[in-house]
Amino acid sequence: MATENKALITLFGATGDLAKRKLYTSLFKLYQKGYLADHFALLGTSRHEMSDEEFQEMVLDSIKDIPAKDGEAEEFSKHFFYCAHDVTKPEHYAKLRDRLAELDKQFGTEGNRLFYMSMAPQFFGTIAINIKKQGLLTDDGYNRLVIEKPFGRDFDSAKKLNDELSQTFEENQIFRIDHYLGKEMVQNIQALRFGNPVIEALWNNRYIDNIQVTLSEKLGVEERAGYYDHSGALRDMLQNHIMQVVAQLAMEEPVAFTDDDVRVEKIKALRSLRVYTPSQAAANFVRGQYGAEGSQPAYRNEDGVDPESGTETFVAAKLMFDNYRWSGVPFYVRTGKKLADKFTRIDVVFKKPLIDIFANPNSGNEQALHSNVLTIFVEPKSGFALQLNAKHVGQGYTTEPVDLKFLQSDSAKKESPEPYERLFHDALEGNHTNFASWAEIAYAWKFVDVIRNLWDIEKPQFPNYTPGSMGPAAASELLARDGRKWVYDLNK
């Protein structure tokens, strides 16, 4: 049974792409399920002038494809209000303050305020500071801040932003969105690990040889070129999404499944991530940029991209954790655009038996057994598979790899909330489990800054991979030099 959340949401960036594509649809689904009902309202803001009615029309248009009961969408839209506002003008906040006070009374939201920043990151600090200075905070219920990515461009800018946010909000009031943490199978990592002794007992350097995380995109930069060219794969994907996934794979079991306990363990894991020296970083990171393919332009020739751009559209890295559980086990990660397919998966490669009794060197079969591999399919399919060795059916005795597989059905996947719905719900409930804490972000930036500083000085040899491949050859060499291979490899 859904419990109703009483909340007054202030949305900065209410006419933006994210709001229209993800936020209103997520709120509508929460409304349909009863997590939001009579006692909620949203005050949208952006620079455009618009009436409440026009804003409600915009919201209705955003949710028009979601099946709904008669009149449900219209009822929902009546909870939406609008106030034109330039976030850089302190005097404009007075309008918001007065409107919020009215809406709080009208909808009985009991002083619960959630501020959602869905706009360009250069405004985040200014908004936070003005929320307090101009009296938008409540003394009655809660004050929470939900903030979009990116959280800084490096450690220094992230720290500056965090210091600005901290002038208004305590750490436990801040919800930093990383939508990968809203994905079903990313959340499932913890159930899989801590719910199954058969897995967790082997989850260490005695049994695991290496772990691989791949976030592969098939598309290029599309309409995000302007933003992407100033960001690149390292900042856009590795520093946040990949580091969050890796932290869940590497963390120790929390004392209890509460947000505080999970957070403590993720932070501890990231503290033991080896921060490379510049020369180690150069050896353990690979960057790439896609070239042209047939009629498709090279990255440098995409609209909105600098024709001499040195921005990486691919990154791979080897991460090492210096702690008792993981010492000696590499975590290989990679992500890129215009790769072979769109998918996210994690491959946990177990060590082979010390002795392979099924090998038959006399017949040229030096190694019969394959590694056991646990694959977590994050998307588009959701589930996991465990590769085991089994006897090949038939006369004689040879072994072959077989899969124990669980894939979520299409109907289960349809039922599963989208990341933004899940995360909005968690923020309304005040649950931080699936949000990134400042300490996690700080460790991730410190790790990433070393290679970024190096790459910013050294001119890359771009382009260096073909669309439809799995990135530059150096990404395979990163593993080959350790005697290993990517489990998902087109060249098998």
| Residue 148 binds to ligand NAD (criterion: CB under 6 A) | yes
Q: Which is nearer to ligand NAD, 12 or 276 (CB)?
A: 12
Instruction: Round to the nearest angstrom and report the end-to-end CA distance of the chain.
Output: 49
CB of 45 to ligand NAD, least distance (A): 6
| Residue 279 binds to ligand NAD (criterion: CB under 6 A) | no
| Residue 119 binds to ligand NAD (criterion: CB under 6 A) | yes
Q: Which is nearer to ligand NAD, 85 or 263 (CB)?
A: 85
CB of 89 to ligand NAD, least distance (A): 8
CB of 321 to ligand NAD, least distance (A): 28
Query: How would you class 481 by CB atoms within 10 Å of its CB: exposed for 0-12, middle for 13-18, buried for 19 or more?
Result: exposed
SS3 state of residue 344: strand
Q: Count residues contacting ligand NAD (CB under 6 A)?
A: 19
| Residue 417 binds to ligand NAD (criterion: CB under 6 A) | no
Structure tokens at 232: 């690149």
Considering only 39, 95, 132, 149, the residue that binds ligand NAD (CB under 6 A) is: 149
| Residue 18 binds to ligand NAD (criterion: CB under 6 A) | yes
SS3 state of residue 429: helix
203 Cβ neighbours under 8 A, 6+ residues apart: 193, 325
Q: Are 40 and 79 in contact (CB under 8 A)?
A: yes
Structure tokens at 39: 């006692």
Q: Sign of dihedral through CA atoms 427, 432, 438, 443? A: negative
Strand pairing partners for 273? 321
Count of helix runs (H) and strand runs (E) in the chain: 18, 14
Among 45-53, 201-209, 359-367, 410-418, the segment contacting ligand NAD (CB under 6 A):
45-53
| Residue 121 binds to ligand NAD (criterion: CB under 6 A) | yes
Restricted to residues 201-260, the positions that interact with ligand NAD (CB under 6 A) are: none
Q: Which of 85, 241, 425, 432 is catalytic?
A: 241
What is the DSSP annotation of 67-124?
---TTHHHHHHTTEEEEE--TT-GGGHHHHHHHHHHHHHHHT-TT-EEEEE-S-GGGH
CB of 463 to ligand NAD, least distance (A): 26
CB of 291 to ligand NAD, least distance (A): 26
Residue nearest to ligand NAD (CB): 16
Q: Which is nearer to ligand NAD, 281 or 436 (CB)?
A: 436
241 labelled catalytic: yes
Q: Which is nearer to ligand NAD, 149 or 268 (CB)?
A: 149
**Structure-token match 């940029």, residue found:** 289
Q: Which is nearer to ligand NAD, 25 or 46 (CB)?
A: 46
What is the DSSP annotation of 152-179?
-SSHHHHHHHHHHHHTT--GGGEEE--G
Element (H, E) at 333: strand 331-336
Considering only 26, 56, 112, 118, the residue that binds ligand NAD (CB under 6 A) is: 118
Considering only 53, 86, 293, 306, the residue that binds ligand NAD (CB under 6 A) is: 86
**Residue numbers at the binding site for ligand NAD (CB under 6 A):** 13-19, 46-48, 85-88, 118-119, 121, 148-149
**Which residues are catalytically annotated?**
241
